[in-house]
Amino acid sequence: MNAAPGTASALSSASPFEAGLALDGFDAPVSETAGSVPAARDTAGAVLRIEGVSLAFGGVAALVDVDLEVAPREIRAVIGPNGAGKSSLINVVSGLYRPDRGRVLLAGESFAPVPTARLARLGVARTFQNLALFKGLSVIDNVVMGLTQTVRSSFLGQIFGSPRARRDEAETRARAEAIVEFLHLTAVRDKPAGTLPYGLQKRVELARALVARPKLLLLDEPLAGMTVTEKRELSGYIRNARDTYGTSIVLIEHDIGVVMGLSDRVAVLDYGRKIADGTPDEVRRDQAVIDAYLGVAHDDEAPGNVRGGV
């Protein structure tokens, strides 16, 4: 993408990391409404707190003594080079990985590991790097699947159509229809999810995660593989979800331009260690972050060291 007029002079004095952000083309457009609802900073009431989490696979460190807090109504990005440990961190939070040390606090409760069966009850939802839709089901039915953990009627009650089961079904459908409308999916609500363009399928996955109105939403590379236009649209929906529902969001994403425009705070991982944490402006000027993205060797790293995180 060509730089806008006047950009070249500004880039001449910028670091390569900052120059990459400007040339990405997202910095100004995505941040136009960023921060429209200021995130709370009451860490005592943090929606998520990660304390001293370490994780290794076969002796290779994926996470090393990582701390992280997510405040109510905050979009909290976690970035880093390939193999930095970003996905490992989100897998620890969602209970897919058991940390070797440390703990995760959700809804005021401490876990090591996090019980995956209780995630929905704890107000946690997530999406994955790869699409995990039921491609033969319609859009609306995929979204309804995000409410399976909230159904209160018994299995027999659902079979025989008890009054409670009918109320559950009506409430579930109403909530699914509302989120479909919120994400502008009404025109494709009855189409099989697998027939939709990739960008719309990603939006359906976001709808399924949001329909339960989670307190904490974990997004693992939600913009991967999308076009520039699709990224802009989905970024807007993510921000609107925070603003409308008060959802706290942890965002794992490689597109630095989007991250800097969308997030309230950004944490940076490198080789499983947190090397920076602050506002987007603070992080983009942090020399340790610039070095990590340029591949500058650490003093304590031997040449040819292989990244351990994922």
pLDDT tens digit sequence for 128-168? 888 889 999 999 999 998 887 665 545 555 564 666 656 76
Are residue 54 and residue 12 in the same domain, yes or no?
Answer: yes
Are residue 307 and residue 274 in the same domain, yes or no?
Answer: yes
pLDDT-wise least confident of 200-209, 238-247, 255-264, 298-307 = 298-307
pLDDT of residue 146: 87
Are residue 197 and residue 142 in the same domain, yes or no?
Answer: yes
Give Cα 102 distance to the centre of its chain: 21
Angle (CA) 285-62-106 rounded to 5° is 85
Q: Is the pLDDT of residue 173 over 60?
A: yes
Q: Is the pLDDT of residue 238 over 50?
A: yes
Are residue 141 and residue 116 in the same domain, yes or no?
Answer: no
Q: In this structure, is residue 23 part of a structural domain?
A: yes
Q: Are β-strands 273-278 and 265-270 bridged in parallel, bridged antiparallel, or unpaired? A: antiparallel
**Packing angle, helices 198-210 and 228-245, rounded to 10:** 10
Are residue 1 and residue 119 in the same domain, yes or no?
Answer: yes
Phi, psi of 243 (to 5 degrees): -70, -40
Q: What percent of the chain has pLDDT over 70?
A: 75
Q: In this structure, is residue 243 part of a structural domain?
A: no
- Domain extent at residue 270: 1-123+248-310
Strand partners, 103: 51
Are residue 86 and residue 135 in the same domain, yes or no?
Answer: no
pLDDT tens digit sequence for 176-208? 999 999 999 999 999 999 999 999 999 999 999
Q: Is the pLDDT of residue 299 over 70?
A: no
Mean pLDDT value across the chain: 81
Are residue 113 and residue 46 in the same domain, yes or no?
Answer: yes
Q: In this structure, is residue 130 part of a structural domain?
A: yes
Q: Is the pLDDT of residue 38 over 80?
A: no
Are residue 44 and residue 66 in the same domain, yes or no?
Answer: yes
Nearest to 269 by CA among 110, 112, 50, 24: 50
Q: How many domains does the chain have?
A: 2
Greater model confidence, 35 or 118: 118
Are residue 46 and residue 159 in the same domain, yes or no?
Answer: no
Region 250-258 average pLDDT: 91
Q: Is the pLDDT of residue 225 over 80?
A: yes
pLDDT of residue 112: 81
Confidence of residue 65 (pLDDT cuts 50, 70, 90): very high
Tell me how far CA of residue 210 lies from CA of 78, 126, 214, 223, in angstroms.
20, 9, 6, 16
Region 77-86 average pLDDT: 92
pLDDT of residue 19: 46
Select from 188, 213, 238 the last residue of a domain: 213
Region 11-27 average pLDDT: 45
Buried b or exposed e, range 116-145, using 16+ CB within 10 angstroms: eeebbebbbbbbbeeeebeeeebbbebbbe
Are residue 46 and residue 151 in the same domain, yes or no?
Answer: no
pLDDT of residue 98: 93
Select from 213, 240, 270 the last residue of a domain: 213
pLDDT of residue 7: 39
pLDDT of residue 254: 85
pLDDT of residue 82: 86
Q: What percent of the chain has pLDDT over 90?
A: 56
pLDDT of residue 11: 39
Confidence of residue 232 (pLDDT cuts 50, 70, 90): very high
pLDDT of residue 128: 85
Strand partners, 217: 125, 249
- Supply 288's token pair: 């340790």
Strand partners, 290: none
pLDDT of residue 108: 80
pLDDT of residue 168: 65
Q: In this structure, is residue 231 part of a structural domain?
A: no
- CATH number, domain containing residue 289: 3.40.50.300
